[in-house]
Copies of this chain bind each other. A is one copy, B any other.
Amino acid sequence: MRTDTVYKKAFNRAANMLRDGQLAGELPSENELRRRMCVSRTTVRKVLRELLNRELVTERHGLRATGRAVGDNDYYPDAETTPRAKHVEQQFMEWMLRGDTRPGTSINELELARQFGVATNGIREFLIRFSRFGLIEKRPNTGWLFKGFTEDFALELFEIRVMFELRSAQLFSLQPNSSPLWSKLAALKMAHADLLERIESRFHDFSGLDNRFHRLINEASPNRFIDDFYDIITFIFHYHYQWNKQDEKQRNLAAIHEHIAYIDALESRNSTRIEAACRAHLASARETLMRSLTGFDETSINA
């Protein structure tokens, strides 16, 4: 059966809105709510029905946000607000990056399906989607081959990344002064400076910043293939670093400084400087990944 995660997530959002007083007084129309919560009206109505049922809102001509206060246990647990497909993704990434899955292993749809508690269909769809990341390969009628999260992979990934980023950075710097992206860039520089001050406690915030930065650079001259490639990077890094937190503060600190230098270079519009700053940053990011990769391998060999 299809999961009702959309409803549950919407319900939680609505509960939050109630709690924050965003819905004080008479409730907005179903259409208005629909727009705010980014779901269909069908789902909004289901949420409203349940809110009423739990007496979190009351009916007096129109619906009003005058029910009892929202309690912590009114919320659906997080796990129930994530669709199956996402769970498959998470479990697969853990299986791949955590387990002792060696390059060359073959992947069995049925076995994964059993292990993750989903139908084979879901596994297969995930694998098809995942295959564009260059880590697995399909052999028809037979199954999938895991090619390994290896140094080769990282090298090839970074070779492309450098090409793309150099291209985008140069094009960014050629924008007219009037472009709104310059002020976005300035804002981002401030955000970096801010984070630098709070680095001790907030160092995890860097990854969001990193993303915004690299996506901003691509915005000046969009190319769907570059965007797609950046999705790969984001995805890989997200999961890889989720399970590999060594030196996180240290390496984020270094990266912030590199970003700032990179931003300065962009603002200078000096092509040579830009190239240098861009290369420096990416070389360092690559080193970090490679180090953690080899470290990773060794620990799993010794384990």
Interface residues of A (CB under 8 A from B): 6, 83, 121, 124-125, 128-129, 132, 134, 140-141, 153, 156-157, 159-160, 163-164, 167, 223-226, 228-229
Docked CA distance A140–B160 (Å):
29
Kindly identify which residue among B129, B157, B159 contacts A128, using a CB–CB cutoff of 8 Å.
B129
Kindly identify which residue among B129, B156, B226 contacts A160, using a CB–CB cutoff of 8 Å.
B226
A35 to chain B, nearest CB (A): 15
State the main secondary structure of chain A at its contact with B: helix
Closest to A129 in B: B128
Nearest 8 CB-CB pairings of A with B = A134-B224, A132-B132, A156-B223, A160-B225, A128-B128, A128-B129, A156-B224, A163-B163
Closest to A140 in B: B83
Docked CA distance A157–B163 (Å):
15
Kindly identify which residue among B125, B134, B141 contacts A225, using a CB–CB cutoff of 8 Å.
B134
Which among A83, A223, A225, A229 has the highest number of chain B CB atoms within 10 Å? A225
Closest to A39 in B: B141
Kindly identify which residue among B124, B159, B223, B226 contacts A223, using a CB–CB cutoff of 8 Å.
B159
Please determine whether A141 and B6 come into contact, CB atoms closer than 8 angstroms: yes
A156 to chain B, nearest CB (A): 5
Docked CA distance A38–B121 (Å):
26
Please determine whether A134 and B167 come into contact, CB atoms closer than 8 angstroms: no
Docked CA distance A225–B141 (Å):
24
Please determine whether A223 and B128 come into contact, CB atoms closer than 8 angstroms: no
Interface contacts beyond A124-B125, A163-B163, A163-B164: sample of 8 additional A-B pairs, CB < 8 Å, sorted by A = A83-B140, A121-B121, A125-B128, A128-B129, A132-B228, A156-B225, A160-B226, A163-B167
Residues in B neighbouring A129, C-beta threshold 8 A: 128
Docked CA distance A6–B142 (Å):
12
Residues in B neighbouring A224, C-beta threshold 8 A: 134, 153, 156
Residues in B neighbouring A225, C-beta threshold 8 A: 134, 156-157, 160, 229
Residues in B neighbouring A226, C-beta threshold 8 A: 160
Docked CA distance A237–B134 (Å):
22
